[in-house]
């Protein structure tokens, strides 16, 4: 009887831990890098920097040359450009989207809206 109780408790604990770790993946956070260039596009992204969305930080660069110098490995060809990174504890983990299409970036970010 005692072994069965321990077995059931162990199973429930394992199920609880598994459930918690999968919900962490659902709470992915994003870092937004926007290279504006001549066109002011910051207003299109300002709503995503809120508690309603999963964007935790953003950086706006106005000058294409500065962006190329600061982020050479991302081969920024033109502006406007939007880069969306998945973050992991503060550092940039993985580039999820690189686009020169503002609407594509907005659609991607719309999907990060948190369920309340």
The beta strand positions in 20-54, using DSSP E, are: 29-35
Helix, strand, coil % (nearest 5) of the chain?
45, 30, 30
Burial class of residue 45 (count of CB atoms within 10 Å of its CB; 0-12, 13-18, 19+): buried
Q: Indicate the length of the chain as a whole number.
A: 116
What pTM was estimated for this model as a whole? Answer: 0.73
Query: H helices then E strands: how many in the chain?
Result: 4, 4
For 58-115, write each residue's pLDDT tens digit. Answer: 999 999 999 999 999 999 999 999 999 998 766 667 999 999 999 999 999 999 888 7
């Amino acid at each position: 009887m005692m072994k069965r109780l321990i077995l059931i408790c162990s199973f429930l604990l394992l199920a609880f831990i598994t459930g918690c770790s999968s919900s962490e993946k659902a709470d992915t956070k994003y870092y937004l890098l926007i290279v504006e260039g001549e066109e002011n596009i910051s207003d299109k992204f300002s709503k995503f920097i809120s508690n309603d969305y999963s964007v935790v930080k953003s950086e706006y660069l106005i000058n294409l040359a500065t962006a190329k110098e600061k982020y050479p490995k991302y081969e920024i060809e033109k502006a406007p450009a939007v880069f969306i990174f998945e973050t992991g504890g503060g550092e940039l983990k993985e580039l999820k989207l690189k686009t020169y299409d503002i609407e594509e970036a907005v659609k991607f970010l719309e999907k990060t809206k948190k369920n309340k």
